[in-house]
Structure 1
Amino acid sequence: MRYKAGYKEEKRRELLKVSGQLAKKNGFHATGVDGFMKESGVTSGAFYSHFSSKNELFKALVESELEQSIQLWQSNPHNDAAAWIEFELNRYLSPLHAEKPEYGCVLPALSSEISRAEEDIKQVYEAELIRGIQLFEKHLGSQDQAWAVLCQMVGSILMARSVASPELKIRILESSKQFLLSQITLHAA
């Protein structure tokens, strides 16, 4: 059967999108290849026409998901450093992000699994993470502050996802946002 030009690439992007959502919601290692492919509406046999192994899927997923986060950070409409970081804190530290991991950032959802992954996956993660940090550094004026802010944001989402009480979830997010805003000192870039 002949497919239109670009079909395979489009199908791979679709598989990564659906697999990313499922992995962020349920965990990557907790989901088998059959589960990823079923959710994507393709056979498990089709998996191997796109990825050589589940490890290869994980690596592609990490890269794709971090690229999406970077694109979101780049789409921030503000150039002013204070407005840029406030926008990001409001977007990232939101109840929706805490309640719907499948539509959120890969960092709070899969970092613990990535920490136990093969070296090649960690290398992809590190390279993409550094690209993201460079955006934060550009607006914050300090690499140390960029790391601290991103780590606090990720940890806040993780903690908010871990509690049952909606009130406590909101308190975690809001207190983290206020703390970060009070601690951030913007340097002229």
Structure 2
Amino acid sequence: MARYDKGHRDTTRRHILDVASAQFRESGIAAVGLAGIMAEAGLTNGAFYTHFASKEDLVREVLCDALERREQRHKDNLENGVPVETTIRDYLSPRHRDAAATGCPTAALVSEIARHPKTTRDAFTGKMSDIIALMAAQMRDGAAAERRRRAISVYATMVGALQLSRAVNDRKLSEEILENAVEAALTLANRP
């Protein structure tokens, strides 16, 4: 049996997560098979089970990892005093719309997550709560409960608009969806 360098297992696991994350976000969870993930990762199908118990285990890990990265972006924005307007405009940009494989996992996968087992939905729910709390903290005006309410509305607007802008095949309409959603999200975010 071949011996691997220290850290090889972690590096291989990270690589599988990255490949699966991009494929899930680009094509959807149901459309992506383990064989395709492992082939793109340059590994055998059997190697998958060294790292994950099942496809659902992989889905949950991908979600948590991708949402933790998104959460870190929100933390960085908060720590660096980035205004909520910048966060909204960045999220609802044509660049983000066109980069589903590396973009927000919520917009790419939320409709499928609703059909997954409770453990996956629990992990998703926890991360959503964290992201909403960070968005609320980014809003400066109003009591905490009011900022949370507005953050939920803003985030729901952002996710839904990004999904719609990706779904339509009319580029002009897609741009209109993004532009109008920016205005609506800013109105919600800045409402006293």
Name the counterpart of 2:175. 170
Distance in 2 between the 1:132 and 1:171 partners? 26
Distance in 2 between the 1:143 and 1:183 partners? 11
Is the 1:34–1:44 Cα contact (8 Å) retained in structure 2?
Answer: yes
Deviations 1:14-61 (CA, angstroms, capped at 9, x unpaired): 111111000001111111110111121111111011001111111111
Structure 1 unmatched ranges of 5 or more: none
Name the counterpart of 1:19. 20
Say which is worse superposed, 53-62 or 174-183, in terms of deviation: 174-183
Name the counterpart of 2:89. 90
Structure 2 unmatched ranges of 5 or more: none
Q: TM-score, normalised by structure 2?
A: 0.91
Is the 1:78–1:84 Cα contact (8 Å) retained in structure 2?
Answer: no
Name the counterpart of 1:185. 190
Name the counterpart of 2:48. 47
CA drift of 1:164 comes to 0.8
Q: TM-score, normalised by structure 1?
A: 0.92
Q: Amino acid of the residue matched to residue 117 of structure 2?
A: E
Q: Amino acid of the residue matched to residue 115 of structure 1?
A: A
Deviations 1:84-121 (CA, angstroms, capped at 9, x unpaired): 21111111001121122101000011111110001100
Q: Amino acid of the residue matched to residue 136 of structure 2?
A: E
RMSD of aligned alpha carbons? 1.6
Is the 1:153–1:176 Cα contact (8 Å) retained in structure 2?
Answer: yes
- Residue correspondence of structure 1 range 1-189 to structure 2 within 5 A: 1-76=2-77, 79-80=80-81, 83-140=82-139, 141=144, 142-185=147-190
CA drift of 1:77 comes to 7.0
Deviations 1:138-188 (CA, angstroms, capped at 9, x unpaired): 11251111111111000000000011111111111011101221232367x
Is the 2:150–2:188 Cα contact (8 Å) retained in structure 1?
Answer: no
**Alignment coverage as a number of residue pairs:** 185
CA drift of 1:79 comes to 4.8
